[in-house]
Amino acid sequence: FFTLHAIHTMVEGKVAYKNVISNGLVLDKNGAKMSKRLGNAINPFEALDKYGADAVRWYMLTNSSPWDNLKFDPEGVEEVKRKFFGTLYNTYGFFALYANVDEWRSAANGKGLQEIDRWILSKLNSLTKEVTEFYETYEPTRVGRAISDFVQDDLSNWYVRLNRKRFWGGGMTEDKQAAYETLFTCLKTIAQLMAPIAPFYADRLYRDLTEPMT
């Protein structure tokens, strides 16, 4: 993306970018400099193949600020993949399972919202404001941590856990529609907020949410 952007701006006679975040050193999990001689070097391509580019990037950005030195621990990447991406995947899977059964379609009319719906939407709005400010001030570490906390604590552990029964049973009631609408809005917004850090996963999630369900 940045290469294409640079070429485009050079053709137009503009600067390619105005700000740059520089990475610090990537050290081993104990803080030692990586070296083939010491046998503590990590093959980046093997890490990308094993965990995925988004999980590796998310771990590196949320573990420490990009300009600081990073202690790279493969177990940490595995934890990010399981706790954050796994939780987000399971939350979407819960939504998609029942939305497909009910052939749900968004109405976006705001009717039938319960107090807990308004609570999670308020938390989502606060998150959006927070994350936008962090992006604009070049604080990607705070972005990732804020999104992770929301997904794991507020959305999965509280909202979904306390509202499971609203998605069960036949027929589409106003209350059930409101629950679908609320969870859909949260997932779609998360996909948009995480896109600069995890573009591949975010794009897949956004497409799964917005393209016709089968």
Which pair of tokens denotes residue 137?
């001030």
Of 211, 212, 116, the residue nearest 166 (C-alpha) = 116
**Model confidence at 156: pLDDT above 50:** yes
Q: Report how far residue 83's alpha carbon sits from residue 17's, in angstroms, rounded to the nearest whole number.
A: 34
CA 9 to chain centre: 29
* Mean pLDDT across 189-194: 98
Helix, coil or strand: residue 27: strand
pTM of the model: 0.86
**Model confidence at 82: pLDDT above 90:** yes
* Mean pLDDT across 199-209: 96
Q: Report how far residue 66's alpha carbon sits from residue 58's, in angstroms, rounded to the nearest whole number.
A: 11
Using CA atoms, how far residue 207 sits from 67, 133, 164, 182, 213, in Å, is 33, 26, 24, 18, 10
Residue pair 206/142 in contact (Cβ under 8 Å)? The answer is no
CA dihedral 138, 139, 143, 146 (to 10 degrees): -150
**Model confidence at 3: pLDDT above 80:** no
* Mean pLDDT across 106-114: 83
Residues 6+ apart with CB under 8 A from 209: 92, 184, 187, 188, 191
* Mean pLDDT across 172-188: 95
pLDDT of residue 16: 64
**Model confidence at 10: pLDDT above 60:** no
Q: Report how far residue 54's alpha carbon sits from residue 85's, in angstroms, rounded to the nearest whole number.
A: 9
**Model confidence at 134: pLDDT above 80:** yes
Instruction: Give me the residue label for tokens 């917004």.
Output: 189
Tell me, what DSSP letter sits at residue 32?
A: P
Give the mean pLDDT of the chain. Answer: 89
pLDDT of residue 11: 55
For the ranges 77-81, 101-105, 142-146, the lowest mean pLDDT is seen at 101-105
Q: Report how far residue 188's alpha carbon sits from residue 92's, in angstroms, rounded to the nearest whole number.
A: 10
**Model confidence at 2: pLDDT above 60:** no
Is the model more confident about 68 or about 130? 130
- For residue 12, the one-letter residue type is E
What are the strands, taking DSSP E only, across the chain?
A: 26-27, 70-71
pLDDT of residue 12: 67
**Model confidence at 175: pLDDT above 50:** yes
pLDDT tens for each residue of 21-64 = 777 888 888 888 988 888 888 888 999 999 999 999 999 999 98
